[in-house]
Amino acid sequence: MATISAAQSGTFRLGGRYNVNRLGYGSMQLTGPGVWGDPKDPDEAVRVLQRAVGLGVNLIDTADSYGPFVAEQLIAKALSPYQADLVIATKAGFTRAGPGDWRPVGRPEYLRQQTELSLRHLGLERIPLQQLHRIDPKVPLADQLGEFKLLRDEGKIDLIGLSEVSVEDLVAAQEIVEISSVQNLYNVANRESEAVLEACEAEGIAFIPWFPLATGALAESGGPLAAVANKHGVAPSQLALAWLLHRSPVMLPIPGTSSVAHVEENIAAAGITMTRDEVDEITRLVG
């Protein structure tokens, strides 16, 4: 019976420029409750980032609105000066009014301001991947992505990505500027973005699933993944990440955590080997 190792999937060439290991790290959990303010243990946050990179992660995802700016500043503190192959992906397009409060703002001058602030907080001369955190329905898409295109032409950002979009949004965006990544909610239990994933795969665009573990719901010991996980001697959360890596070669999961132990556990998921039948069984079990 054929077996597949998530580790064998190796790297993905993001935007034709950056070779990234397909299991990355998402920094949203490095902030306080409601993705607001400083973390309870800033020193542990620094250790988490350093351990992730030490284990081979070279794609770190963040956003200006995480904190706001707390996650970006922690990344700079932990990892700057950056190793040559480290790719920092950030986002702009939300403003915050407090814990759990997210408001899309796509005015070109705001996107420029936030990008400039991200450059400063991250300590970068150019952002490798800048993503539109949400499309603002009050602002023409051409104006929002047009500002990113100007920033790219000025050398302040390199690649451009989207977040939480439909296939139609992606098609419209590609008519304005080259899109290198899409970040949508997606995990083994929530596949509402299946059509977007398939569109990305057809175009060779990176698909970055946020909420890859459904905040622990898939990691429960008695959950639907438990039996297969026990067979492999791994945690259900690790199996869920391995399933994502097997689902598509353009998939770049970015599990986040504020714990060094969980970082180590998540990254170990890249080495899980499953048969194709097991991959299909998980798809059926949770589908």
Task: For strands 59-61 and 181-185, give the pairing.
Answer: unpaired
Q: Which phi and psi (to 5°) does residue 106 adopt?
A: -115, 15
Whether 83 and 35 have beta carbons less than 8 Å apart is answered as no
Instruction: Spell 116-145 as b/e; 16+ CB within 10 A means b.
Output: eebbebbbbeebbbbbbbbbbeebebeebb
Cis peptide before 81 (omega within 30 of 0): yes
Annotated catalytic, 66?
yes
Catalytic residue among 18, 66, 82, 186: 66
d(CA 158, CA 141): 19
Q: What is the DSSP letter of 273?
A: E
d(CA 57, CA 50): 10
Residues with Cβ within 8 Å of residue 262, at least 6 apart in sequence: none
Whether 178 and 161 have beta carbons less than 8 Å apart is answered as no
Whether 14 and 180 have beta carbons less than 8 Å apart is answered as yes
Catalytic amino acids?
66
